[in-house]
Amino acid sequence: AKRWGRADAVLRGLDERCAAPPARLRQVADAVAVEMHAGLASEGGSKLGMIISYVDSLPSGQEKGLFYALDLGGTNFRVLRVQLGGKEGRVVKQECEEISIPAHLMTGTSQELFDFIAAALAKFVSSEGEDFHLLEGRQRELGFTFSFPVKQSSIASGTLIKWTKGFSIDETVGADVVAELSSALDRQGLDMKVTALVNDTIGTLAGGRYDDSDVVAAVILGTGTNAAYVERANAIPKWHGLLPKSGDMVINMEWGNFRSSHLPLTEFDQALDAESLNPGEQIYEKLISGMYLGEIVRRVLLKMTEEASLFGDDIPPKLKIPFILRTPHMSMMHHDTSPDLRTVGAKLKDVLGIQGTSLKTRRLVVAVCDIVAKRGARLAAAGIHGVLKKLGRDIPSSDKHRTVIAMDGGLYEHYTIFSETLESTLREMLGEEVSSSVVIKLANDGSGIGAALLAAAHSQYL
């Protein structure tokens, strides 16, 4: 009984520290909007990078021809080719392949990583079928989705600011990632030109806009989290270039690095951050994204074991292994609707090697998942609300325009309680009238096709 009391105390403490009531979410949303302004005003003016993407026009639908895309940004990378048929033909044909990156390459050398990617791409190109047509005498062109913070210097060049999401290769930091990829393509003997360097948010924004002209922003909730949106170029004080013809500029917010005293942080978050590959950075991402949610839960369960012998007197050795409990495991436990919570029992056994858990214990585990997932989802909703505020789309307007947010990422796609909490929280924050015109649209792998569309829009042959 004493044991349960202590476990309950840990749970209650967690619940209190993770609380994100409406007033606090409003503070977070306000802080996001304020930081957006600051990041646009000056380089380094904010935790939010607010990176100028050099994408000043989004796909129109006129794009034509064969284009490739490569998407690197998490544990998998994807290669894609698409035959675009212009206004009438749209996407004539599309093929995609997903390849997982061996863990040792994520912390090895730059050349090894890019050679691996180029080799996979070369293999994919060699399987190009008859349905795809490259115009006579043309070079194949590629949109490169590289979902790490990059300082763009043009639409097709940019240097890596830092790695995130478990990647860590020092020599790549500061290097032009297009040059790195292009040399690797040369080493493979693959004749292909990178005509657009974007990240997944910008790819998703482009792909989303191709499908729906009311798309104004894109959000990624996958291994990491980020957002991009369309800004008026004359509202970007730090932009000293010519004003683009469209008057628009797409901004890559790098919102994963947001932080604020209003964020509900716990001892678990602090320890996770301190022991991470990038301490002090990506604080918002560490509260929200798929890479971290399961790990936060593991840390809470470990504490409950240490303080309250949750799983018996000995600490199950696997529970001490960082990142062993993945967010998909957490999500499966959280969605368990069986009366005896058998999926929870099975996951505890299979993932953590903990046998014979009682129903009471399983309920406690679900309660931990619930607190951690809902905090993340509510904070993500507050981030979106902040962006809508900056765009002036958080208040009722006389013209009845829709506001569409293109969403991508495995966390949002598969973690139903997370996505439902996000949507209901956003509704709660916006109120009925405004939220009736705000739509979150799942753009499943929109970033791949988006990058191909941007490669087409920035073709050397235009």
Which spans of this chain sit near ligand ADP (rule: CB under 6 A)?
Answer: 73-76, 222-223, 290-291, 327-328, 331, 409-411, 414-415
User: Taking the complex as a whole, how short is the minimal distance between the CB of residue 76 and ligand ADP, in angstroms?
Assistant: 6
Is 200 among the catalytic positions?
A: yes
- Residue number with CB closer to ligand ADP (288 or 300): 288
Which residue is catalytic, options 176, 200, 273, 394?
A: 200
Q: Scanning residues 213 to 232, which ones bind Mg ion (CB under 5 A)? A: 222
User: Taking the complex as a whole, how short is the minimal distance between the CB of residue 277 and Mg ion, in angstroms?
Assistant: 19
- ∠ CA 317-323-325, nearest 5°, is 75
- Residue number with CB closer to ligand ADP (74 or 158): 74
Q: What b/e readout covers 430-439, taking b as 16+ CB neighbours within 10 angstroms?
A: beeebbebbe
Is 78 among the catalytic positions?
A: yes
User: Taking the complex as a whole, how short is the minimal distance between the CB of residue 383 and Mg ion, in angstroms?
Assistant: 17
Q: State the residue number with the nearest CB to ligand ADP.
A: 74
Distances (CA, A) of 357 to 1, 297, 362: 16, 17, 7
For residue 210, what is the DSSP state? Answer: H
Among 461, 462, 408, 447, which Cα is nearest to 144's? 447
Q: Where are the beta strands (DSSP E) in 21-75?
A: 51-52, 64-72
Burial of 256 (0-12, 13-18, 19+ CB in 10 A): buried
User: Taking the complex as a whole, how short is the minimal distance between the CB of residue 147 and Mg ion, in angstroms?
Assistant: 6
Question: Of Mg ion, ligand ADP, none, which one does residue 13 interact with (CB within 5 to 8 Å by kind)?
Answer: none
- Residue number with CB closer to Mg ion (289 or 425): 289
User: Taking the complex as a whole, how short is the minimal distance between the CB of residue 386 and ligand ADP, in angstroms?
Assistant: 21
Question: Of Mg ion, ligand ADP, none, which one does residue 429 interact with (CB within 5 to 8 Å by kind)?
Answer: none
Q: Distance between CA atoms of 398 and 68, rounded to whole angstroms?
A: 42
Taking CB under 5 A as the criterion, the residue among 141, 200, 254, 394 binding Mg ion is 200
Amino acid letter, 332 = M
- Residue number with CB closer to ligand ADP (98 or 307): 98
Is 398 among the catalytic positions?
A: no
Q: Distance of alpha carbon 72 from its chain centroid, rounded?
A: 12
- Residue number with CB closer to ligand ADP (228 or 411): 411
User: Taking the complex as a whole, how short is the minimal distance between the CB of residue 222 and Mg ion, in angstroms?
Assistant: 5
User: Taking the complex as a whole, how short is the minimal distance between the CB of residue 218 and ligand ADP, in angstroms?
Assistant: 13
Question: Of Mg ion, ligand ADP, none, which one does residue 421 interact with (CB within 5 to 8 Å by kind)?
Answer: none
Which residue is catalytic, options 78, 209, 378, 393?
A: 78
Q: Is 445 in the site for Mg ion (CB under 5 A)?
A: no
Q: Where are the beta strands (DSSP E) in 43-128?
A: 51-52, 64-72, 76-85, 91-100
Question: Of ligand ADP, Mg ion, none, which one does residue 290 interact with (CB within 5 to 8 Å by kind)?
Answer: ligand ADP
Q: Distance between CA atoms of 82 and 128, rounded to whole angstroms?
A: 10
Burial of 12 (0-12, 13-18, 19+ CB in 10 A): exposed
Tokens of residue 81, six digits: 């080719």
- Residue number with CB closer to ligand ADP (290 or 345): 290
Question: Of Mg ion, ligand ADP, none, which one does residue 193 interact with (CB within 5 to 8 Å by kind)?
Answer: none
Question: Of Mg ion, ligand ADP, none, which one does residue 158 interact with (CB within 5 to 8 Å by kind)?
Answer: none
- Residue number with CB closer to Mg ion (145 or 276): 145
Tokens of residue 120, six digits: 């996979």
Q: Distance between CA atoms of 125 and 106, rounded to whole angstroms?
A: 24
Burial of 66 (0-12, 13-18, 19+ CB in 10 A): buried
Amino acid letter, 357 = T
Q: What b/e readout covers 104-114, taking b as 16+ CB neighbours within 10 angstroms?
A: ebbeeebeebb
Question: Of ligand ADP, Mg ion, none, which one does residue 309 interact with (CB within 5 to 8 Å by kind)?
Answer: none
Which residue is catalytic, options 147, 289, 419, 447?
A: 147
Q: What are phi and psi of 199, to 5 degrees?
A: -110, 180
Binding residues vs Mg ion (CB under 5 A): 73, 200, 222
Which residues are part of the catalytic machinery?
78, 147, 200
